[in-house]
Amino acid sequence: MATQAADRPAETQASGAAPEAVVVRFAGDSGDGMQLTGGQFTLSTALAGNDLATFPDFPAEIRAPQGTLFGVSAFQINFGSTQIDTAGDAPDVLVAMNPAALKVNLAALKPGGLIIADTGEFTKRNLDKAKYESNPLEDGSLAKWDVLAFDISALTIEAVKPFGLGNKDALRSKNMWTLGLALWMFDRDRQPIVDWLKAKFKAKPEIADANIAALNAGHAYGETAEISGPLKKVSIPPVESDPGLYRTITGAESVSLGLVAGAQLAELPMFFGGYPITPASAILHHLARLKEFGVTTFQAEDEIAAICAAIGASYAGQLGVTSSSGPGIALKGEAMGLAIMTELPLVIVNSQRGGPSTGLPTKTEQSDLYQAVYGRNGDAPMPVIAARSPADAFDVAIEACRIAVEYMTPVMLLTDGYIANAAEPWKVPDPESYAKFPVRFLKEKNAGDTLLPYRRDEKGARPWIKPGTPGLMHRIGGIEKHVETGNIDYSPANHQAMTDARKAKIDEIAVPDQDVALGESTGRLAVVGWGSTFGPIHQAVRRARRRGLSVSHIHVRHIWPLPKNLGELLAGFDRVLVPEMNTGQFKTVLRDQLLIDAESLTKTSGQPFAIAELEEAIGKYFDDIPDNEGGEVPADAQQLPVSASGHDDGSLRPERRSPQSKVNP
């Protein structure tokens, strides 16, 4: 097991040199506005031209009791002048707005990192609530970090005094004061935040002014305070990116926009049936504001009604879409079977969260893969595709729409809580650059004088017939139906033929060949991922390759059916490692479909993989490399988080564990 070095990192950059990337974590009470602070810092960072990735981590409780450990909300951002793929492993800077925030997040902080703490909140009462026996700012327990502690509360009250706010209201600007300081530290422009505050509080200009004053005061504090010690201004130059127009985007926005684009490429109005559930609701919220794009949103009475209404809309000729997270997807299972049976297009978005049951509503996991691929009654094949990042979700949503209408089938699109909430810069695409796939409804009988609603085209798809079309009246339903007429038919040969036809249609879906995300197409080790593990796998493989290891990163978008060349591609590697945030579900699919000895690296702590965790696992396949004997990777111990912050070093596991679950060390 990796241990956290107690001393300062050996590999220290020359003082004053600009680092390539910095990880900052803002942590406070769920009422302290940390997500908002993080979001605004993200914006100013994006506008400064840095690449970035964020990770909001907040409790499931809306307003947990103030000052408690379980009420801590955090927002982490990794930004730099090089390509950023993850929200970063260990923060360089931790902003702790109260003792609980310090306690919960300290374990993750890099040794030698900087703690900024508000002494105004380190009262006896708050220390008790955070279960501190003595004040960590005073008792020397933070010796391995740099600490910058001052009374942000008092400074904020002072700054907003001219606006005549009470203390309670004044303190609500504390996050803006802190943001101002952070903007100074990283040489960021304040103007976008000022503009945003003015727009947000248009109706209450005095609140806007107070917040701006707090922001400026925090900034001025950094500039003028005569403090010797850790607080220094750091400048991160912009990243070199492809030329173009950029914006930041979260996965939920990206999926929504991709669905709108997909419906337009299909030349169809879109119907979205949803039911509130974390972390999927944001898609419903986004789409509800896009009515002018031919989008109808419907908040149904439950998950089942949401999908059934979407199928009803598809039946009537629109592109039906529904969205949920694991527990809601479970409820939709029977209706998915009906969409498969009646062969109607439908897109089902699953923003996965920790399970089973209610599980971890606000934490991320990839454990609904079996549910997506295998989780229905009967032989009910359905395409499954997965987004790798917030920006990627746009293209994946379009692809889901294409498959749904071209093959007359429901399609499952997998994202997860991390993708849904995280933001990254997105190079805004030109919608004209996407190939259209316009839908053609059947307008007249397709077999002379006869209508055959289940006669298939070359893709195996049946015609889409809108009610309201004269002369094409017919009946469909969930009962097994005749291969061509669609009339009820229970005969043995017919059920065999229909089962085969449904399976063949999905098996033969045209899926692009699998590419290699990084590295050669043969070699010692292929690290095969899917979904939101893209970032950490990519960085870990890149680092391993810099050490000369023969390792490639392959990231699979099309989970079902798999790309036709995947088996051949993986056969070119000696070993195949599949890291995923579940107990090895994609590994099972690969073994099942390709008969290869795919090995698992699993993590189910509700936190994304850290780069260092993957780097360490990769290293074990290369014990004959100089300096890497016995598989002891000189992984950057500084970077390895401790178990308290979600790193699975084996110590989190109970005595009893599945012999199948392979643990890193």
Looking at 205, 356, 512, 548, which residue binds another protein (CB under 8 A)?
548
Q: Which position has the token pair 């070993």?
A: 575
Q: How far apart are CA 455 and CA 442, in angstroms?
A: 12
Label each residue of 6-21 as H, E or C: CCCCCCCCCCCCCCCE
Query: 494 with 508: CB under 8 angstroms?
Result: no
Q: How far apart are CA 154 and CA 468, in angstroms?
A: 69
Fill in the DSSP letter of residue 484.
Answer: T
Looking at 104, 108, 517, 589, which residue binds another protein (CB under 8 A)?
517
For the bound state, the minimum distance from the C-beta of residue 496 to another protein, rounded and expressed in Å, comes to 22
Residue 356 interacts with another protein (CB under 8 A)?
A: no
Q: Which is nearer to another protein, 145 or 163 (CB)?
A: 145
Q: Which is nearer to another protein, 453 or 606 (CB)?
A: 453
Structure tokens at 304: 């089942």
Q: Which is nearer to another protein, 104 or 309 (CB)?
A: 309
Q: Which is nearer to another protein, 140 or 470 (CB)?
A: 470
Q: What is the dihedral of CA 361, 418, 527, 509, to 10 degrees?
A: 90
Residue 146 interacts with another protein (CB under 8 A)?
A: yes
Residue 386 interacts with another protein (CB under 8 A)?
A: no
Q: Which position has the token pair 């949803």?
A: 274
Residue 192 interacts with another protein (CB under 8 A)?
A: yes
Q: Which is nearer to another protein, 160 or 517 (CB)?
A: 517
For the bound state, the minimum distance from the C-beta of residue 507 to another protein, rounded and expressed in Å, comes to 25
Looking at 63, 204, 291, 443, which residue binds another protein (CB under 8 A)?
291
Looking at 2, 22, 94, 102, which residue binds another protein (CB under 8 A)?
22
Q: Residue 600 burial (CB < 10 Å; 0-12/13-18/19+)? A: buried
CA 205 to chain centre: 36
N- to C-terminal Cα separation, the chain: 6
Q: Which stretch binds another protein (CB under 8 A): 62-70, 312-320, 373-381, 585-593?
A: 312-320
Structure tokens at 434: 């996407």
For the bound state, the minimum distance from the C-beta of residue 119 to another protein, rounded and expressed in Å, comes to 20
Q: Which stretch binds another protein (CB under 8 A): 371-379, 470-478, 587-595, 656-664?
A: 470-478
Q: Angle 355-357-359 (CA atoms, 0-180°, nearest 5)?
A: 45
Residue 387 interacts with another protein (CB under 8 A)?
A: no
Nearest to 324 by CA among 287, 276, 261: 276
Q: How far apart are CA 653 and CA 651, in angstroms?
A: 5
Binding to another protein (CB under 8 A) within 397-456 occurs at 425-433
Residue 565 interacts with another protein (CB under 8 A)?
A: no
Residue 513 interacts with another protein (CB under 8 A)?
A: no
CA distances from 363 to 460, 500, 646, 659 (A): 39, 39, 11, 26
Residue 550 interacts with another protein (CB under 8 A)?
A: yes
For the bound state, the minimum distance from the C-beta of residue 72 to another protein, rounded and expressed in Å, comes to 23
Query: 317 with 466: CB under 8 angstroms?
Result: yes
Helical ranges in 368-428 per DSSP H: 369-374, 392-407, 417-421
Residue 611 interacts with another protein (CB under 8 A)?
A: yes
Residue 312 interacts with another protein (CB under 8 A)?
A: yes
Nearest to 398 by CA among 417, 381, 385, 382: 385
Q: Which is nearer to another protein, 636 or 648 (CB)?
A: 636
Residue 473 interacts with another protein (CB under 8 A)?
A: yes
> What is the Cα Rg of the chain in Å?
27
Q: Which is nearer to another protein, 97 or 260 (CB)?
A: 260
Looking at 1, 13, 572, 653, which residue binds another protein (CB under 8 A)?
13
The DSSP-derived string for 553-570 is EEEESEEESPPTTHHHHH
Helix axes 205-224, 152-160, angle to 10 degrees: 130
Residue 78 interacts with another protein (CB under 8 A)?
A: yes
Q: Which stretch binds another protein (CB under 8 A): 159-167, 454-462, 511-519, 642-650?
A: 511-519
Q: Which is nearer to another protein, 100 or 387 (CB)?
A: 387
For the bound state, the minimum distance from the C-beta of residue 598 to another protein, rounded and expressed in Å, comes to 23
Q: Which stretch binds another protein (CB under 8 A): 25-33, 211-219, 389-397, 573-581?
A: 389-397
**Beta sheet of 523-530, edge-to-edge order:** 551-556, 523-530, 573-580, 598-602
Binding to another protein (CB under 8 A) within 613-642 occurs at 636, 638-639
Residue 410 parent element (H or E): strand 410-416
Q: Which is nearer to another protein, 114 or 372 (CB)?
A: 114
Q: Which is nearer to another protein, 133 or 432 (CB)?
A: 432
Q: How far apart are CA 655 and CA 644, in angstroms?
A: 18
Looking at 235, 241, 491, 658, which residue binds another protein (CB under 8 A)?
241
Helical ranges in 53-121 per DSSP H: 99-106
Binding to another protein (CB under 8 A) within 24-63 occurs at 43, 46-47, 49
For the bound state, the minimum distance from the C-beta of residue 296 to another protein, rounded and expressed in Å, comes to 6
Residue 282 interacts with another protein (CB under 8 A)?
A: no
